Structure 1
Amino acid sequence: MSQHQHIRIKGARVNNLKGIDVDIPRDRFVVITGVSGSGKSSLAFETLFAEGQRRFAESISSFARQFLGRMSKPDVESITGIPPAIAIEQKVNTRNPRSTVGTTTEIYDYLRVIFAKIGRTYSPISGEEVVCDSMESVMQYLRDKSGTLYLMADLKWEEEKYRIEKLLNLKEEGFSRVYIAPDDADKLGEVVRIDALLSDMERYAGREVMLMVDRISLGEGATEDEETAARLMDSIKSAFEKGEGTIHSVIVDETNITARRFSTLFEADGLRFEKPQEWMFNFNSPLGACPVCGGLGQIIGIDEALVIPNAALSVYQDAIACWRGNTMSYFKEQLILNAHKFDFPIHTPYNLLTAEQKRILWEGNEHLFGINDFFKELEAKRYKIQNKYMISRYSGRTVCRECGGHRLKKEALYIKVGGKSIADLMDMNIGELSQYFRELTLTDYERSIVSKAINEVTLRLTCLENVGLSYLTLGRRSNTLSGGESQRVNLVSCLGNSLTGSMYVLDEPSIGLHQRDTQRLISVLKQLRDIGNTVIVVEHDEEIIRAADWLIDIGPHAGIHGGEIVYQGPPPCTPSEENGHEDGTSCAQTTPETANRHEKGTSHAQNS
């Protein structure tokens, strides 16, 4: 065995290991098995990982090394050929409330890029897409129009005393007329000379006044005529400049009057919007985070679960805990007395109420003093001991009402890709999100911009499905995952990072995984191997053991009776694998000697 192709361990005595010698092939999928307490973790984590991490730390600068802490050398005579090591253990590695499945796997980072590059903004009022107009879009609109075109610039009036000065300045610049908008949109406005307006300002008080930039006759193919097109382009440019980005057109033909507003500003329905930018979707930045919860998605407030401890009860059955008792029952009685005025079902269990009925119960209306108003009243008189006690009793971490738990400013939620906002995607489980990206329809231009980002997202989503995590959502907090879930999420993150030449050490990744997903987990582990890494797994699952390229069985028993190599080599063949594994790797032939050694080792693994 050549040193550069293998990790060679001599005389390992960590914990109960009895001076064992092990040769582990590099860039292979290696399983370490044995009974509990036999020394598997001592070899994998406290020897291999510890030495790999220590040597990597020694290779970096002394300044960076001071932040890593002291790393002791494992009790071993020598280790050669060991690459930098990464451990993926069965524990939740972060308590950071800002960390989610999406951020850990870096899927969210790619979603931010996708939404910033091709996201479309929709008005929350009309639901219409918000677009910026340009000279070209105005010309495109006029291309097939006929009739008389009135082209006006929107005048941004300041205070009354500056209006006359502005009109005089416009007159000096060569403009002679203004357009007085009609009260009825179906009628044509009045064209007035600036001199006439200046002499009788009171007559047009309260009317919308626009600067008349041009009046031109449009006919079939008018925009194709070189001279007419040049005049239109010049007039449109001038109108945008004088109107500070906003112009109006009115086209009068034989039967209709068609008015249209154009704006180079990103606005609609009287609202000004931000153009999509990556920082808008970053809840870890003050620029993108919800101003109320600071990007956490939760606040300390009145907890719905404490106020309604039993959602199977109706309002009539005292579902609202804070309105029980002699003193506070007054609020419940008022609700029951007034419920008929707004058709509130007082006998319906709380968990069967509609979202609108729950909103009314919490926010109130003209007939109901809502739960939120009730606690505001208590807060206003917090100096009273009983009120302070009541507030603290029903307070807890609750969903931020401003962002709905989505962590972002509401402006970011107006931006959509494929009809979905980034918050909608974060609320989907992995399976639904994979389907969304499979069915996502983009233009060739959009796909050319974000195809790489989408490929990275779909790769990670596929890996999450393969390790049995299709039920998770990207918005799931990392500190709420189980140890097994956290380990598999980190495994996907490692695969997505595409590191090569490293050694990954995993602790029983099959725990908590349904048996039907074992082969998919094996596929992910082999993907990690195939990109040029050594994958070492401490495992008891027989299916994973047989899928390994190299097997190390430690035993024969636990504690002081273990710590020895029972078997090392390719996993023994099953009858169906006599010609090797499906992926082309070989397996050990069951000679009497190897069969006896393997029987001793694997029997302990199966009985553990």
Structure 2
Amino acid sequence: MDSFLRITGARTNNLRDVSLDVPKKLMTVFTGVSGSGKSSLVLDTIAAEAQRLVNDSYSTFIRSRLPQMPAPDVQAMDGLTFTVLIDQRRFTGNARSTVATATDLASLVRLVFSRIGSPSAGYSPAYSFNDPSGMCPTCEGLGTVYDIDLDALIDQEKSIDEGPVRFSLFRPGVYRWKRFAYAGLFDRQKPLKDYTAEEMDLFLYADQLKLIDPDPRFPQSARFDGVVTRMRAVFLKQRPVKMSAQVREELDRLVTHHTCPDCQGARVNAAARASLIDGHSIVDWMRMPVAELRALLDDLADPRVAPAIDGIRHVLDALLSVGLGYLTLGRESSTLSGGEAQRVKIVRHLGSALTDVTYVFDEPSTGLHPADIQRLVALLQRLRDAGNTILVVEHHPQVIAVADHVVDLGPGAGSAGGLVQFEGSPAALRRSDTLTGRLLAEPLRPAETGREPRDRVTVRDARSHNLQGFDVDVPVGVLTAITGVAGSGKSSFATVELPRQHPEFTVVGQDPLRGGIRSTTLSILRIADTVREVFSAASGLDPSWFSFNGKGACPTCRGRGHITTELAFLDDVSLPCDACGGLRFNDTALEVRVGGSSIADVLASTPEAVSELLSDHPDVVAALDWVQRTGLGYIPVGRSLDTLSGGEKQRLLLARHLSDPHRDPADRIILDEPTSGLHPNDVETINHLFDDLLDDGATLVVVEHNMRVVARADHVIDIGPGAGSDGGRLMFAGTPAALAADRDSLTGRALASSSVRAG
């Protein structure tokens, strides 16, 4: 038993009484179609139970201050060890968190400059933009100066009673409005344009003013702040992390920002900027790509800081090994993609003295070119060889091929999945008759000829971000794949340069969708109102009763479905609401039935089931049909957006775009890695969708690493050869078959390797 993690009778989510033994101190890959139960088994059962047991090991005093995590639905588990989950959640840090701070490099870099920088600025804090002794005093270490756009904020034609502040948090009646309405300083009926200069200065910029004769409704112990002073204190200096989508959009409209005029975005003060090592400042180190900085450190030898330099080199080498050599240490961590954030987290665990740890990875190959995946695999193997157990949820053939053990779940998604289809070696999986095995054994066949384009558009002198100024034609009416290693400039070309020069192209990218937990598939597709109206007609209640954002919300969790415990510098922990059981609705809403289903039942159903229930509503049926055709048929229509991956969100946006009744079938669409997180079978579903769209006259430009998409493209544009400053050049333009024959292209080599894969 000591050699295995033993799971007996797992029934979490869609798992169907799964029992298996997972070997310890080896790398086990869990695969299967999207929604088959991989994450339910690995993340929601194994990792969740290990974390719960760790919490239970603390004293009663400590446990009483920790969130009480529910046990997963499993009969028994044995052999669990301390478990680290490395998922694809983006970093939630603010502007003061960078790649350097996330990898713990910042302290080492500051130490080096404090010891050998000349002239010295002082001790380590004197080089930190997060410390008063080192930050630029003008921007307070942010590198950017934010301020309020007065013209956008203030309507001088209105009086206080009419609401002169164009910000909903200052509208008449709310407490911030009451602060200046009841201050006793202003005529509430007089338009602001008639204020004297002194009155306007007080209204906008008063700072902790002690009032002489305020209205009795003004708080007795409070001081008065002007509108701008108040906004700067609450929304600029602190910038709350948790804001509604409406407030965030309003702030984006009201706040201006530009590079700090004193430090030019360097963040640190003049003394830190003037301190040099071999002609380079700490600002230069922070702005260099990791690969360039690592080369610079080859020539730095000073015995006074040798241990610190060795530590920096070690972390930089790890970043290079996971394909992040194009990042800069000064890049804000919150701007990293989910895949980039996950790889940074991997780097943090390399070299740990802990052994016999279980590391759980959730699709670590996301966003990686095949050339980068070999380096990722080497890191996973290093962790395994240090005496740890590695569990990987993954679809990529390169990762599956090097596993010591493979568990394949399926056979389908949702209720059609949740069973173990195969356990064994990668070679045995390829020989098996499972869906995954058949697809892995099948070699790709790069297209030698493609569809004939109707026309071509030319992108000239492409220079966005790291692009080096090349010209290239993009064919119209066919599928063009944009390839290259991570950071080579693919997205810069496809999602920035191409639509800038040719605005008729529509970008469906992976930008975060507005709404988060309050938005669902139905709301993104703009059919939520139709569903509510169906329940309204059946009950006579207002449609708002069937919205968890309206009257129908559970009063305890306010329609969230869970209660969140904030743990300061640790991740928040959410537990299902006891009152509604996670259903999000109150009893009044849940009592209404349509076709035997409550509104909560509908939100928990798949697109196919909802289409059948509401078959007499063509707008609902059409929209949900596109959801299924984009490979998202396994996702319940009420799933919150914050639980979807980047690839799932993009495919949902694509479904919304395609379901628009006014869409031109011959439109031109740009997609940024739409197959992220997809099983090979689901990739084939996307390929068939692309075929249908092209047959209807559409033009598709797809940024992709997946060789299944690249092999079937009509045209390929390869950008490289490397990342960051080493990329941005046109390496190839032509058919997939010609690319596979190009040995100078990393993409070409990967495509050729995939096309001769042995069965």
Maintained 8 Å contact 1:118/1:417: yes
Task: Work out whether 1:398 is the aligned partner of 2:272.
Answer: no
Offset at 1:407? 2.3
Structure 1 CA distance, aligned partners of 2:315 and 2:200?
50
Correspondence 1:248-327 to 2 at 5 A: 276-301=122-147
Counterparts in 2 of 1:300 and 1:489: CA distance versus 1, 3 Å: same
Q: Pick from 394, 397, 402: which aligns with 1:542?
A: 397
The answer for the alignment partner of 1:108 in structure 2 is 106
TM-score relative to the length of structure 2: 0.44
Counterparts in 2 of 1:546 and 1:381: CA distance versus 1, 3 Å: farther
Counterparts in 2 of 1:36 and 1:398: CA distance versus 1, 3 Å: same
Q: Pick from 87, 91, 94: which aligns with 1:93?
A: 91
The answer for the alignment partner of 2:373 in structure 1 is 518
Correspondence 1:495-534 to 2 at 5 A: 495-534=350-389
Q: Pick from 284, 291, 296: which aligns with 1:431?
A: 291
Task: Work out whether 1:6 is the aligned partner of 2:4.
Answer: yes
Task: Work out whether 1:569 is the aligned partner of 2:407.
Answer: no
Amino acid at match of 1:83: T
SS of 1:8's equivalent? strand
Maintained 8 Å contact 1:566/1:601: no
Task: Work out whether 1:599 is the aligned partner of 2:445.
Answer: no
Q: Pick from 392, 417, 420: which aligns with 2:280?
A: 420
Amino acid at match of 1:54: R
When structure 1 is superposed on structure 2, of 4-13 and 530-539 the one drifting more is 530-539
Counterparts in 2 of 1:100 and 1:501: CA distance versus 1, 3 Å: same
Offset at 1:52? 1.2
Q: Which structure 2 segments of 5+ residues have no match?
A: 152-196, 205-226, 229-250, 442-677, 683-759
Structure 2 CA distance, aligned partners of 1:293 and 1:62?
45
Give CA deviations for 1:69-91 in whole Å, capped at 9, x if unaligned: 11111111111111111212212
Offset at 1:48? 1.0
SS of 2:20's equivalent? strand
Q: Pick from 19, 22, 47: which aligns with 1:21?
A: 19
The answer for the alignment partner of 2:448 in structure 1 is none
Structure 2 CA distance, aligned partners of 1:499 and 1:382?
62
Counterparts in 2 of 1:601 and 1:498: CA distance versus 1, 3 Å: farther
Instruction: Number of aligned residue pairs: give it.
Output: 358
Give CA deviations for 1:447-496 in whole Å, capped at 9, x if unaligned: 2x322222221121122122121111111101111111111111111225
Amino acid at match of 1:484: G
Correspondence 1:171-190 to 2 at 5 A: none
Maintained 8 Å contact 2:421/2:434: no
Q: Pick from 477, 482, 504: which aligns with 2:332?
A: 477
Point out the structure with max Rg over C-alpha: 1
Maintained 8 Å contact 1:34/1:601: no
SS of 2:2's equivalent? helix
SS of 2:380's equivalent? helix
Structure 2 CA distance, aligned partners of 1:461 and 1:385?
51
Structure with the larger RCO, 1 or 2 (CA within 8 Å, 6+ apart): 1
SS of 1:566's equivalent? strand
Counterparts in 2 of 1:467 and 1:496: CA distance versus 1, 3 Å: same
Structure 2 CA distance, aligned partners of 1:61 and 1:25?
31
The answer for the alignment partner of 2:319 in structure 1 is 464
Give CA deviations for 1:180-221 in whole Å, capped at 9, x if unaligned: xxxxxxxxxxxxxxxxxxxxxxxxxxxxxxxxxxxxxxxxxx
Offset at 1:15? 0.7
Structure 2 CA distance, aligned partners of 1:59 and 1:290?
45
Q: What's the Cα RMSD here?
A: 3.2
When structure 1 is superposed on structure 2, of 451-460 and 426-435 the one drifting more is 451-460
Maintained 8 Å contact 1:556/1:601: no
Q: Pick from 271, 275, 282: which aligns with 1:411?
A: 271
Offset at 1:5? 1.8
Amino acid at match of 2:375: R
Amino acid at match of 1:414: A
SS of 1:86's equivalent? strand
Maintained 8 Å contact 2:47/2:83: yes
SS of 1:543's equivalent? helix
The answer for the alignment partner of 2:232 in structure 1 is none
Maintained 8 Å contact 2:411/2:435: no
Q: Return structure 1 stretches of 4+ with deviation > 4 angstroms.
A: 379-386, 392-395, 594-598, 600-604
Counterparts in 2 of 1:399 and 1:565: CA distance versus 1, 3 Å: same
Maintained 8 Å contact 1:508/1:537: yes
Structure 1 CA distance, aligned partners of 2:382 and 2:391?
13
Structure 1 CA distance, aligned partners of 2:336 and 2:199?
40
Counterparts in 2 of 1:37 and 1:597: CA distance versus 1, 3 Å: closer
Offset at 1:103? 0.5
Maintained 8 Å contact 1:566/1:597: no
The answer for the alignment partner of 2:50 in structure 1 is 52
Offset at 1:403? 2.6
Structure 2 CA distance, aligned partners of 1:383 and 1:276?
41
Amino acid at match of 1:407: R
Structure 1 CA distance, aligned partners of 2:434 and 2:308?
52
SS of 2:8's equivalent? strand
Structure 2 CA distance, aligned partners of 1:380 and 1:469?
55
Structure 1 CA distance, aligned partners of 2:429 and 2:342?
34
Offset at 1:64? 3.5
Amino acid at match of 1:288: G
Offset at 1:54? 0.8
Q: Which structure 1 segments of 5+ residues have no match?
A: 122-273, 307-378, 573-587
Counterparts in 2 of 1:385 and 1:72: CA distance versus 1, 3 Å: closer
Give CA deviations for 1:19-54 in whole Å, capped at 9, x if unaligned: 111211112222110000100000111001101111
Offset at 1:497? 4.3
Counterparts in 2 of 1:107 and 1:380: CA distance versus 1, 3 Å: farther
SS of 2:350's equivalent? helix
Structure 2 CA distance, aligned partners of 1:69 and 1:92?
22
TM-score relative to the length of structure 1: 0.54
Offset at 1:538? 0.8
Maintained 8 Å contact 1:567/1:598: no
Offset at 1:118? 2.2
Structure 2 CA distance, aligned partners of 1:101 and 1:45?
26
Structure 1 CA distance, aligned partners of 2:410 and 2:10?
14
SS of 2:364's equivalent? coil
Maintained 8 Å contact 1:556/1:600: no
SS of 1:439's equivalent? coil
Offset at 1:602? 5.7
Structure 2 CA distance, aligned partners of 1:533 and 1:398?
47
Correspondence 1:222-241 to 2 at 5 A: none
SS of 1:488's equivalent? helix
Maintained 8 Å contact 1:14/1:42: yes
Maintained 8 Å contact 2:111/2:124: yes
